[in-house]
Amino acid sequence: MNDSDGSKAAMSPEEQKVYQAKQKHRAAIMAGLLFFLVVLFYFITFVKINSSVS
């Protein structure tokens, strides 16, 4: 923990729960987005290679 963190008040257990739920939700969405981008880039690469071959 750094100095700037130390100067701020700690969260209550309820606030921490809300914070962690928010973090979990964001992480799940980020995982979904990354998976979507992997699939998208796969198809983009496929289309680009195909068009350059033909």
Integer distance in angstroms from the first to the last C-alpha of the chain?
Answer: 57
| Token couple for 51 | 């068009």
Q: Is 54 in the site for another protein (CB under 8 A)?
A: no
Q: Is 24 in the site for another protein (CB under 8 A)?
A: no
Q: DSSP code of 8?
A: S
Query: Of the candidates 3, 38, 43, 54, which one interacts with another protein according to CB under 8 A?
Result: 43
Give the residues lining the site for another protein (CB under 8 A): 1, 5, 8-11, 15-16, 18-19, 22-23, 25-26, 29, 40, 43-44, 46-48, 51
